[in-house]
A and B are shown apart, each in its own frame.
Chain A
Amino acid sequence: EPEVTQTPSHQVTQMGQEVILRCVPISNHLYFYWYRQILGQKVEFLVSFYNNEISEKSEIFDDQFSVERPDGSNFTLKIRSTKLEDSAMYFCASTIGRNTEAFFGQGTRLTVV
C-alpha cells in the first residue's frame, strides 16, 4: 500500500541551527502539505504546495520556514534558525487532488534544545 514516508523520525537540534525535514509523498499525488503538532495541542496547518509553488500558508509559516521539492520525489521543510517553540511533531501529507483524502506520514519529532 502506498504511503507517505518521513525522515528522520526524531531530530534533536540546538537553538539557532538549521534543520531540514524530509518527506516522500505518494508518487501520483500532486498536492503536498506540512502540518505540526506541539505536544498536547491540536494539529496545525503550516503550508500547502502545488505545481512547484506554495499555494497557501499559515501565519506560523514565517520567513524562517521554507519548502522545496528538489526532485520528483522529495518534499522538504527547512527551518532556518530553530527556536525552542519550534519543538513539535511535524507531519507531511499528500493528496491526489484538491479537497481529496489526505494521507499523512508518521511524523518527525523535532526537539530544539
Chain B
Amino acid sequence: TQLLEQSPQFLSIQEGENLTVYCNSSSVFSSLQWYRQEPGEGPVLLVTVVTGGEVKKLKRLTFQFGDARKDSSLHITAAQPGDTGLYLCAGESHNTDKLIFGTGTRLQVFP
C-alpha cells in the first residue's frame, strides 16, 4: 500500500515567517502534485512535479521533488494570512489512474 505522510500536521505562524511542509513516502511516484483546500471546497492544484530533483517556484511558494521521487517539500517565504488553508500532497504512479493523497498540513497564518 502506498502511503504519503505529511509533516507537520498543523502549523500556526505569524505573518512574514517562512515555513516548510514535508511529504514523505517509502514508495516511488511518477509525479507528485500539491493542492490547497479551503473549508467546504475541493482541492485546487498548485503545482505538479515530475522529475527527480525538480524545483518549481510559484511566487512565494517553492516546491521540490526528491531525487528518488519518494518525497517532496513545499516552502513558503514570508507567509501571509491569505496562505491559510489545508495543503495536500498527492502522488501518482505510472501503472494507475488514481491519486494517493497525503495526510495534509493545516496552515494558519496570523496577521
Contact = CB atoms under 8 A, between A and B. Distances in A.
Interface size class of B (residues with CB under 8 A): 20 to 34
A58 B97 CA distance: 11
A98 B97 contact: yes
B50 to A, nearest CB: 9
Contacts of A65: none
A21 to B, nearest CB: 13
A63 to B, nearest CB: 20
A97 B104 CA distance: 26
A75 interface: no
Interface in A1-36: 4, 31, 33, 35
A91 to B, nearest CB: 5
A43 B45 contact: no
Contacts of A45: 98-101
Interface of B: 30-31, 33, 35, 40-45, 48, 88, 90, 92, 94, 96-104
Closest 4 CB pairs of A and B: A104-B42, A45-B98, A43-B101, A48-B97
